[in-house]
Chain A
């Protein structure tokens, strides 16, 4: 088994972008290639995550990317797992390096959706649900997470102000991220007074629809060492699944796939949650972050809301969560999000995170899922000095 490293990372801004999906994807790819100090000819395979390419008139994206990088003979694979596409794709890239099939690959996530408008985007996202039981019965994605929020709030006596604190913290972090989609300081009152989207979730409980791309160069440790460039190591990887429909879950206040993926990743890394110095988690809605940090083992079930209010997840707290601003502020180009989280870890560990740097961090975790957690992935990274 090979040790898997990340040698380079690149990302576009997240937000409303004018370029085509391919131009966005190539921009992040070139940034990652230059960051790693390699040539496209070093890339032995391309892994590309995307969900709604059809909305920009391009599916089968992988060979188009390979061709435009001048390496059309290199095999490409396009992977879709809704909002978890990036991390699910990363796992496949990781596995192929680890198994020794390739020594260096490109892992690229991309999405282009904002041009379709809110109604069309809301509808397209609803196709990521178990449509027969959810989208087809009138549930939007905010609606699905709103129903999860109500179940959690009922069980653990949490309230809408608890949710608001997640948004305020992530917007504060996003202010320090020059590539974030929504760089705006907000207050608890702003969140509580924002329009209801699907009760109990309000506008500021929801991440934005975003365009954007993020890319990584993965390689084995021999390749990384020979490059002479700084790199970080992937020390844990886990995948889990949950019933696709919320109705299929015994407990609606937890996401089983997260728990399964986290346990696998912790076991592979040989660490426990208390060893993690910071995490990028899937905060598509504020309730998701509260559930995530419990399912990942940072807090006991039902206790995260209090801890978040007390600052435990702020940049200087005991377990900083989403220093990038998270999906909530940095944005959520769904095919790219899982890779964007790892770009943040690379930047944190390579001195490129500026004011949002988590001091003395050496172990980081990323967590990303598709739909309401039906496809989940957790990865753990170690700084290499």
Chain B
């Protein structure tokens, strides 16, 4: 169903993440797919779209492990902040991956999965 509603998109994105999915938009005019929070198509700037959910499974493009974390993350015993590309569509997302203590634990290309959305830590990932 074509949609132009622009309110509540973050909440919808979060709902999808809680269901281990990434919410995207497919442009009605040029079929370009973008992350759902971007309002206009990045290719043709059209505003009409269909919401599409993709399985939140992908591979790691890059990451870091913080020794000096920002406020709210000091209590986590080792985590990576990860940028990953979805397997089913060429869309990147990023999230919080707990349990990673050293770079060798997460080679580039490792498979990760969206594992929910946490009020404190945002988009949570799990290593597959």
Contacts and interface: CB of A to CB of B under 8 A. Distances in A.
A195 B76 CA distance: 19
Nearest to B93: A247
Contacts of A143: 64, 66, 81
Contacts of A136: 122
Contact of A248 (B10, B61, B92, B102): B92
A139 interface: yes
A199 B64 contact: yes
Interface string A169-211: 0000000000000000000000000011111110000000000
Interface string A148-163: 1011001000000000
A69 to B, nearest CB: 37
A198 B65 contact: yes
15 contacts: A119-B71, A133-B123, A137-B123, A138-B121, A139-B70, A139-B81, A143-B81, A146-B64, A147-B63, A150-B64, A154-B62, A198-B64, A198-B67, A200-B64, A252-B61
A151 B79 contact: no
A157 B43 CA distance: 32
Q: What class of interface size applies to chain A in its complex with B?
A: 35 or more
B68 A150 contact: no
Interface in A233-255: 245-249, 252
B50 interface: no
Contact of A123 (B35, B64, B71, B79): B71
Given A138-B72, A138-B96, 18 more contacts: A122-B68, A132-B37, A134-B94, A135-B70, A137-B121, A138-B66, A138-B70, A142-B68, A143-B64, A143-B66, A147-B62, A151-B62, A151-B83, A198-B64, A198-B68, A200-B103, A247-B92, A248-B35
- Residue of B62, B67, B69, B123 ringed by the most chain A CB atoms within 10 A: B62
Given A122-B70, A132-B37, A248-B35, A138 B61 contact: no
Interface residues of B, number: 33
A131 B64 CA distance: 17
- Residue of A195, A196, A252 ringed by the most chain B CB atoms within 10 A: A196
Classify the secondary structure of A's interface with B: helix
A200 B61 CA distance: 15
Nearest to B71: A123
A381 to B, nearest CB: 34
Interface string A115-141: 000111011001000001111111110
- Residue of B10, B64, B122 ringed by the most chain A CB atoms within 10 A: B64
B108 interface: yes
Contacts of A123: 70-71
Contacts of A139: 64, 70, 81, 94
Nearest to B63: A147
A133 B83 CA distance: 10
B95 interface: yes
A247 to B, nearest CB: 4
A240 to B, nearest CB: 16
Contact of B94 (A133, A196, A199): A133
Nearest to B91: A247
Contact of A147 (B37, B64, B96): B64
A14 B65 CA distance: 30
A150 B108 contact: yes
Contacts of A137: 81, 94-96, 121-123
Contacts of B68: 118, 122, 140, 142, 197-198
A284 B63 CA distance: 19
A140 B62 contact: no
Contacts of A118: 68
Nearest to B73: A138
Contacts of B10: 132
Contact of B81 (A138, A195, A197): A138
Interface in B10-31: 10
A252 B62 CA distance: 9
A126 B70 contact: yes
A144 B121 CA distance: 16
